[in-house]
Amino acid sequence: MATFKIVLDKRRKREKDKFHLSVRVSNSRDITYLHLGQLMTPKEYDIYFRKQAFDKNILAVKERFESYANRAHMVYQIVVPYDKVEFRKIFYNKEYDFDKITTQAQKENGSIRFLFENSVNGKRDTNQIGLSTVDNYRTALNNLIKFQKELTYKDITSDFLYKLEGWYLREEKGSKKNSVASVGNLMRCLKSVLKYNMKKKVIPPTYDYPFNDYKIPTYTPAKRVISIEEIQKIVDLKEFDNDWEIYARDIWLLLYRMNGINFIDLLKLKWEDKKGEHFEFFRHKTRRTRRSNIRPLRIKVTDKIQELLDRIGDKESPFVLGQMSHTDYEESYLVNRNRKVKAKVNKFLKPIAKRLNLSMSLDVSLARDCYANTLKRANVNALKISENMNHSDPRTTTLHYLDNFEQDDLDDANDAIL
């Protein structure tokens, strides 16, 4: 997945310690700088893009340039497979029509590229999917085209899917092979696209739907669990190398104590979401996907939570963390801010894990697993845990978060073997 960030291109100084303000596109190890026709000194850049600011003039400038990062994100979704020359061409074309991205021939031929774009555009127009899902679809499309160029829906049979699965598992991403979990993600994206276009009559009813015969492989990952003693070490930690380590540790504890919420929910949480003794909000992840049992998550502000809010909460901002610069934001801005801030917090959590000699690396997502398993170890009913985590189905809690048995218990069970 690519990232898009407004930076100074310091590869070449222009004049009076000024550099080109640019969108840096990081697509795996491939880095592209898109100059925006503006020179800035590092000091000016800090004012607009590094320091927290609420001056309307500064925010207006910042928002104008960050819209270019959003534009780059849109172009990235269109240029499949990724091509730097084509990417630049579309990015700098001010008259480019983002809604007209396929030819009539592609549509008539049933091109898989057209089917994906038709599905994404339709679901985006009706607010059914967000940018993270769009990125998943784009990655799936890239892999399909890599496996077979000029692919159409007529080529996709159950035999094709089995061959695709075998090829994908043999493919290597960096130094690692693709996993069964990522095969499942690829196939679910393709299945969704086919069903959408069948429903819209783009694919004729005579099409032999391949997922009636081919079954998507399911994968249950090993639960990410650290012991209660290790969690206590994180709570008790007093020695830090810098202020960012303190901040990162407190962020982790806040996520853990606030029902294991996702980082993006804490990032967008506002002070106005506090109703009496509780924070009350709808989870970002389920705002589109849940069609039943829709309810807000309510989290009581305990003394331990309040202590953390007093330390890292930003009272000058409408947002609890103060890491968002404006309240009227596009989703792409939220996604990019979430990616950036989360990465920085995770960066400073890693040395804490090493210093404490934890059994696994520490990151913000581990807080959710730890919350669920702390309650389980305290013999809290699984239905209550599911309710507190705002899951619509308790099976989600059990399958993805609750560790069935401690590893020591599993090892001890083998003592009975003769």
368 vs 290, residue with greater confidence:
368
Written as six digits, the tokens of 172 are 């290597």
Complete DSSP assignment for 272-298: GGEETTEEEE--STTTTT--SS---EE
Q: What is the mean pLDDT of the chain?
A: 83
What percent of the chain lies above the pLDDT cut of 90? 40
| Nearest-angstrom CA–CA distance, 320 and 136 | 30
Residues paired with residue 39 on neighbouring β-strands, in sequence order: 20
Which domains does the chain carry? 3-91 (no CATH), 104-212 (1.10.150), 228-410 (1.10.443.10)
Task: Pick from 175-184, 218-227, 321-330, 358-367 the range whose average pLDDT is largest.
Answer: 358-367
Angle at which helices 366-377 and 243-257 cross, to 10°: 50
What does the pLDDT look like over 239-283, one tens digit per residue? 999 999 999 999 999 999 998 898 999 999 999 999 999 999 888
Q: Are 141 and 77 in contact (CB under 8 A)?
A: no
Q: What integer is the mean pLDDT of 76-103?
A: 76
Q: Label residue 265 exposed, middle or buried (CB < 10 Å: 0-12, 13-18, 19+).
A: buried
| Nearest-angstrom CA–CA distance, 89 and 98 | 13
What does the pLDDT look like over 118-150, one tens digit per residue? 898 888 888 888 877 888 898 899 889 889 988
Q: What integer is the mean pLDDT of 54-79?
A: 77
| Nearest-angstrom CA–CA distance, 256 and 239 | 20
What does the pLDDT look like over 5-34, one tens digit per residue? 899 998 877 677 899 999 999 887 789 999
The confidence score (pLDDT) of residue 416 equals: 43
Decide: helix, strand or coil at residue 19: strand
CA distances from 236 to 249, 313, 360, 378 (A): 10, 20, 18, 20
The confidence score (pLDDT) of residue 404 equals: 47
The alpha carbon of 210 is separated from its chain's Cα centroid by a whole number of angstroms, namely: 29
The confidence score (pLDDT) of residue 61 equals: 80
Q: What are phi and psi of 18, to 5 degrees?
A: -105, 150
The confidence score (pLDDT) of residue 244 equals: 93
- Tell me which of 96-105, 113-122, 315-324 is least confident: 96-105
The confidence score (pLDDT) of residue 274 equals: 94
> Model-level pTM?
0.63
What does the pLDDT look like over 161-210, one tens digit per residue? 999 999 998 876 555 678 888 899 999 999 999 999 999 999 999 999 99
